[in-house]
A and B are shown apart, each in its own frame.
Chain A
């Protein structure tokens, strides 16, 4: 088990390095000159040159990259081109907001998604099943930002019950709309996956065995079926957590949520390379890390794969 974790951790490094290289090259290719962007029009050539030297962007790309990696090893993500702050501090201020929103969304996914999935599987072909199936199918088709806008209009404008943007004082009311919007598509996937997983599990022989032993419907579903059925669902939710941590750019933009997704997006538009690269790096790191945890949890839930790790990593 330990070897498995170590091996996975080692595999992360090339992925991270790969991403830094890609990002670095991407930002380098961008035609605009960061110094120009900062100093705006009317800057003299000399001022621009000085600024470039100061920012270190007049050196060849591999030199810049090497510098960056050295910095990275010390945990320093550099300085934002745009703002007079370290990237670290920008992230530290905005990332927690994204995390909180992500957790709220995950909560909704788990509670509504799994519940809906179980009901619709157990009551297959009845009204509930149809309801869940229809809503999940629709939810997948609705663009997240449009849903957000509609919710703002209905609940914020027309009914006036919920705040339309921002985090406000941090109370729950402000979380409701953004979290629901963010969670919408994922909840649908969770519900569908729970449903199909339950259906598959229920058709297994060991369920018949459980009934043959004299167990009641509740015990069979609740004990025997559920644990098996939730294994892939847990994986799905875990992966989703990783993705959500990536900052939901669209949701954050619509609801003016001060999160990291928005920060990075703006940084891209502003050609603020250190923020883009540093921010994305953290996102990916978190995502990969969460993946690893998901795999471990999976191994805990499903005893079969503990013994077949060699083949597992395909």
Chain B
């Protein structure tokens, strides 16, 4: 499912599968994810807890703990090579350098026994040969770039002396230290206060604009995606179910799950409705996935066809993909309704 113009594509993921082998069975956390990432764009990956979005992100840099996890299939094409087939040594050259990642919980993502300066400088000198003073200067510059005041003094502080928001800024500084082509942000604001969330997201967006890097933004917060993403991939139970521009996802959703999501949140752009409508039921266990479409037990549009097997991802209209046998119908009905409401 490649987009338009291969020259513009920075990352291509094809049929990625990551499973976890546990005592209770095989957890198919990521089961056939494909997408592409264009230069300078922000791709949002949304889904509930357990949908596989974080595992997808971790799989790109092969950070999945092995045991019990394993990337069992697919390819991840970056810079002409398949990341999944690279030797560890070569992969390490990309990590923190061409592709960086920031994680969910800033409270636990920094090593508590080393200073912030130590860890930041480490990011720099792993990939570049700098003399000590130059490295220190770089570290200060990076801290300033992420908005930490008195950067020079803060180098000798320990992570626990920083607030959550500041620690996340430090993480960002470490991630952009070598001007990566891709920055993967795995729920970067979930563990932060609401007011800080906005700051962090703005910061990331700013950096993206300055450096023209691409961003994969993983979140369960639809509001965040609405504001910052250009394209969105919706995931459910380990598989992508819809993939398109952010406008399409929010205004013309085709997959019943996406529809359900849109109905369950408050929106400022719609007329007042009486109640929020959550989606009935809960996501299936990733060990015992139902046959056929994994969403059918909760789906309003369920038909016999849905038992056949998981619906393949189809381009139902230009640049708009959905994995649903009913997608085309849903789209048609909406078009009809729009015409009526006019």
Contact = CB atoms under 8 A, between A and B. Distances in A.
User: Chain A interface secondary structure, helix, strand, loop or mixed?
Assistant: helix
A215 B92 contact: yes
A206 B123 contact: no
A308 B89 CA distance: 41
A212 B112 contact: no
B171 interface: yes
Interface residues of A, number: 24
A209 interface: yes
B140 interface: no
A217 B111 CA distance: 16
B100 A212 contact: yes
Contacts of A205: 103, 105, 108-109
Contacts of B92: 214-216
A62 interface: no
Nearest to A228: B113
Interface in A9-63: none
B111 A228 contact: yes
Contacts of A210: 111
Interface string B248-287: 0000000000000000000000000000000000000000
Given A214-B93, A214-B95, A209 B113 contact: no
A94 B94 CA distance: 62
Interface residues of B, number: 33
A173 interface: no
Contacts of A206: 108-112
B160 A214 contact: no
B291 interface: no
Interface string A278-314: 0000000000000000000000011110010000000
Contacts of A125: 67
Nearest to A209: B109
Contact of A307 (B101, B108, B122, B160): B160
A211 B97 CA distance: 12
A272 to B, nearest CB: 49
Contacts of B70: none
B174 interface: yes
Contact of A208 (B63, B100, B127, B174): B63
In the complex, which of the residues A203, A209, A301, A302 has the most CB atoms of chain B within 10 Å of its own CB atom? A209
A106 B105 CA distance: 39
A208 B111 CA distance: 10
Interface in B66-108: 67, 88-89, 92-97, 100-101, 103, 105, 108
A211 B63 contact: yes
Nearest to B160: A304
In the complex, which of the residues A203, A205, A213, A231 has the most CB atoms of chain B within 10 Å of its own CB atom? A213
A58 B116 CA distance: 68
B130 interface: no
In the complex, which of the residues B88, B92, B97 has the most CB atoms of chain A within 10 Å of its own CB atom? B92
Contacts of A301: 113
B126 interface: yes
Contacts of B58: 208
The 8 nearest A-B residue pairs measured at CB: A213-B96, A214-B95, A214-B96, A205-B108, A206-B111, A303-B158, A214-B92, A212-B101
Given A206-B109, A212-B100, A214-B94, 18 more contacts: A203-B65, A204-B108, A205-B105, A206-B111, A209-B109, A209-B111, A209-B174, A212-B61, A212-B101, A214-B97, A214-B126, A214-B127, A215-B122, A216-B88, A301-B113, A302-B112, A304-B158, A304-B160
Interface of B: 58, 61, 63, 65, 67, 88-89, 92-97, 100-101, 103, 105, 108-114, 122-123, 126-127, 158, 160-161, 171, 174
Interface of A: 125, 203-206, 208-217, 224, 227-228, 231, 301-304, 307
9 contacts: A203-B65, A206-B110, A212-B103, A213-B122, A215-B122, A216-B88, A224-B111, A303-B112, A307-B161
